[in-house]
Chain A
């Protein structure tokens, strides 16, 4: 992997060198190339580089080439602030792509807002991120939206009438998802028959699960993290609960199956993107990504590619990189055909786009359907 990384950099620098002479548009990127989020970060960086190369190969934007300046944030709070300041005041970037995680984006956002440099985050799902100001955007959906999607899916596809909700009270993410699920489900003809909660770190869920079982729901919604979903699923199956389990994108990890085994088989969860999406555009990108980096692309790559492409598309539509025209162009992004779905930014600068539902089948996550907002 290291070798691929270095070749990527070498290739990037090699490409960038002759461009220094030509007129170019400088775009900044903050990304975790090291630290505990480096897995996501590398994927995003690779995808962003692909987006830049693709755009430049197609003649660039406004007759100019794109130059990407990347700064590593080391997955560490304190770093994005300095990195973003550097990009804005030394490299004079027209816009910034990143960060993938909400906490690091929230640190960069106030600086971009006061400098009036647009920031597009590929994957910060915390609703607070874009509330920082009108220069902050994202190409992913927000946490509350997933709750609504899950409810739609439960009602329309699973034909569920009675739902049980089992929330992790220690995670805002979980509570947010559950709240929106309950509101939508109850409003659209469903009934929430029982609500129970647990805390991150718990290992015994039998008491709550017994109560859930006696309420006899059609579906159980558990918006928690993958590490505990496995345990919950195992105990639920042991108690004889056979109805489907559903959850959010925090399930999306191979550890889910490693812990849950056959107990999570057949469960559903929402995600940003599916590698099985039959769209030829998606498959072509995945194939190129695999050829170039020797690894499969995941949600992070799809979102990273989309964030960059939405920006380049906006520069084209704005016809300039001046503010506030570029900001307005990003804000008016509508129906952009991205890898992770059709992206329309709403008045709160969040992406209004479909979520995919994946089903656990054996060791794999199989694409089931796409749910539109």
Chain B
């Protein structure tokens, strides 16, 4: 990775820190939307590694997110107070330590889940893999529903609201940087090879299953971190938040952005999050004809129409998918 990219990463992290320090004077609604944008970027880009770059159709992302979210939230709610007390009360650095620790634990938890699902199932391809990962997502949800320690079906309450714009965008930047660097590295070419032609890849001596598992584990790790951010943003988790629908939302971001195109996926994450919120306000515009305002009361109709239009006009995604490897 060139120096320039690394500098850009540091610049984004510093900028998000600066932005975050002005949160108090910002409209909390916009802060919430920005946070969701950041989380969706992490989810989209991490799924892009699996679905876009490596070409595996995974439908388990909400499950990984749930594992990460619940583990991180369990840590901060159960052990958080005693941890902060041991560090001499709650200050910004002790909370930062606790939160970053919880996020990493959440990510690792999700990565382990990714490994457990990945090893047996990644010998399968296409539809079969999709069904297995779909099943996995449901298993996770049912397990959480039956675990009293995390609130069971009633959900986990009292999660501290640690997530702010600094954490969200710093981690989003790190996610984009890590996954882009990985795919662009010599090792990372293997992911693209597996996607482009699995038979050719394995005949060249590439261990395709290993590549797929690695993509799965890394993708799951970042999904877990995103889950942790989500948990400490909404301050409440319920198993119902991690249904198949959540996975579909992330898959839409990836497809709309362009499979295997990180920039496209990032833009799609921003666009979709903003669009859904913007559609809330359409019905407030008094200058629109009455029937349009009535129709937009159900904003999912408009949202679906936009999706259909985009897919008809740009079937390859906003920024084009399946980016050709750069010639060296």
Binding site for B on A (CB under 8 A): 6, 9-10, 13, 17, 20, 33-34, 71-72, 74, 76-78, 81-83, 85-86, 88-90, 102-103, 106-107, 109-111, 114-115, 126, 128, 131-132, 170-173
Instruction: Give the CA-CA distance A103 to B237 in the complex, in Å.
Output: 8
Is there contact, CB below 8 Å, between B153 and A110? Answer: no
Q: What separation, in Å, do the CA atoms of A211 and B24 have in the docked complex?
A: 62
Alpha-carbon distance A282/B233, docked complex (angstroms): 41
Nearest CB of chain A from residue B8's CB, rounded to whole Å:
29
Known: A10-B290, A72-B299. Is A77-B241 also a contact (CB below 8 A)? yes
Q: A86-B29, A106-B155 are in contact. Are A71 and B294 (CB under 8 A)?
A: no
Q: CB < 8 Å: which of B27, B146, B238 contacts A103?
A: B238
Which chain B residues border A114 with CB–CB below 8 Å? 161
Q: Is the CB of B154 within 8 A of A128?
A: yes
- The 8 Å CB contact of A128, one of B36, B157, B293, is B157
**Cβ–Cβ contact B245 & A76, under 8 A:** yes
Q: B28: which of A13, A33, A71, A89 is its contact (CB, 8 Å)?
A: A89
Q: Which residues of B contact A82 (CB under 8 A)?
A: 29, 32-33, 36, 277
- Interface assignment of B297: CB less than 8 Å from any CB of chain A: yes
Instruction: Name 12 A/B residue pairs within 8 A (Cβ), A-sorted.
Output: A9-B297, A10-B294, A13-B293, A13-B294, A71-B280, A72-B297, A85-B28, A88-B28, A103-B240, A110-B236, A126-B154, A132-B157
Interface string of B1-42 (1 = CB under 8 A from A): 000000000000000000000000001111111001000000
For the complex formed, measure the closest distance between the CB of B179 and the CB atoms of chain A, giving whole angstroms.
Answer: 24
Q: 10 smallest A-B Cβ distances: which pairs?
A: A77-B241, A85-B29, A103-B238, A89-B29, A85-B32, A110-B235, A106-B236, A107-B236, A89-B27, A81-B234
Determine whether B91 belongs to the interface, using a CB cutoff of 8 Å to chain A.
no
Residue B286 interfacial (CB < 8 Å): yes
Q: Check B157–A171 contact: CB distance below 8 A.
A: no
A107-B234 contact, Cβ under 8 Å, with A72-B299, A88-B28, A172-B153: yes
Whether B29 and A115, one on each chain, are in contact in the complex, defined by CB atoms closer than 8 angstroms, is: no
B27 pairs with A13, CB closer than 8 A: no
Determine which of A13, A77, A102, A103 lies in contact with B290 in the assembled complex, contact meaning CB atoms within 8 Å.
A13
Complex formed: what's the CA distance from A126 to B31 in Å?
29
Complex Cα spacing A110 to B155, Å: 14
Smallest CB–CB gap between B158 and chain A, Å? 8
The smallest C-beta distance from B141 to any residue of chain A, in angstroms, reads 12
How far is it, in angstroms, between the C-alpha of A86 and the C-alpha of B236 when the chains are bound? 18
Complex CA gap A76/B148 in Å reads 22
- Distance, CA A126 to CA B154, complexed state (A): 8
Q: Do B28 and A81 touch across chains, with their CB atoms under 8 A apart?
A: no
With CB as the reference atom, state the residue of chain A lying closest to B300. Answer: A34
Chain A residue numbers with a CB within 8 Å of B236 are: 103, 106-107, 109-110
Name the one of B28, B235, B294 contacting A9, with C-beta atoms under 8 angstroms: B294
Query: What distance in Å separates the Cβ of A109 from its nearest Cβ neighbour in chain B?
Result: 8
Q: Judge whether A17 and B297 touch: CB under 8 Å.
A: no
Give the residue name and chain of the B residue nearest to A132 (CB): B157
A13 to B31, alpha carbons, bound, how many Å?
A: 29
Please measure, in the bound complex, the distance between the C-alpha atom of A107 and the C-alpha atom of B28, giving whole angstroms.
Answer: 15
Contact string against A for B residues 150-186, beta-carbon threshold 8 Å, 1 for contact and 0 otherwise: 0011110100010000000000000000000000000
Main SS of the interface on chain A? helix
Nearest neighbor of A75 in chain B, beta-carbon distance: B240
Nearest-neighbour CB distance to chain A for B256, whole angstroms, equals 19
What is the CB-to-nearest-CB distance from A94 to chain B, in angstroms, rounded to a whole number?
17
Q: Which residues of the other chain, A, contact B294 by a CB distance below 8 angstroms?
A: 6, 9-10, 13
Give the distance in Å from the alpha carbon of A90 to the alpha carbon of B241 in the complex. Answer: 25
Q: A170 CA to B143 CA in the complex, in Å?
A: 11
A86-B277, A89-B29, A107-B236 are contacts. A171–B241 as well, Cβ < 8 Å?
Answer: no
Residues of B within 8 A of A17 (CB): 286
Which residues of the other chain, B, contact A88 by a CB distance below 8 angstroms? 28-29
Chain A residue at minimal CB-CB distance from B148: A172
Q: State how many angstroms separate the Cβ of A317 from the closest Cβ of chain B.
A: 29
B202 within 8 A of A: no
Distance in Å: Cβ of B273 to nearest Cβ of chain A: 9
Contacts of B233 in A (CB 8 A): 81
B78 within 8 A of A: no
Smallest Cβ-Cβ distance to A33: which chain B residue: B298
A72 to chain B, nearest CB (A): 7
CB distance from A243 to the nearest CB of B (A): 30
Complex CA gap A71/B280 in Å reads 8
CA distance A171 to B146 in the complex (A): 9
Q: How far is the CB of A4 from chain B (nearest CB, A)?
A: 13
Extra inter-chain contacts (15) besides given A103-B236, A170-B152, CB under 8 Å: A9-B294, A13-B293, A78-B234, A81-B233, A85-B28, A85-B32, A86-B277, A88-B28, A88-B29, A90-B27, A102-B154, A102-B155, A103-B238, A115-B28, A128-B157
Task: For residue B36, give the distance in angstroms from its CB to the closest CB of chain A.
Answer: 7
Chain B residues near A33 (CB-CB < 8 A)? 297-298
Residues on A with C-beta less than 8 A from B297 are 9, 33, 72
Chain B residues, CB < 8 A from A132: 157
Could you tell me the distance between the alpha carbons of A4 and B238 in the complex, rounded to whole angstroms?
33
* Cβ–Cβ < 8 Å partners of B299 in chain A: 72
A85 vs B36: C-alpha distance when bound (angstroms): 12
B280 engages A172 (CB within 8 Å): no
Which residues of the partner chain A approach B146 to less than 8 Å between Cβ atoms?
170
B196 to chain A: closest CB distance in Å? 35
B155's partner among A13, A86, A103 (CB-CB below 8 A) is A103
Closest residue of chain B to A69, judged by CB?
B284
Of the residues B28, B161, B241, B300, contact of A78 by C-beta under 8 Å? B241
Q: Does B154 lie within 8 Å of A172, measured CB to CB?
A: yes
Using Cβ atoms and an 8 Å threshold, which residues of chain B touch A106?
155, 157, 236, 238
B144: min CB distance to chain A, Å: 13
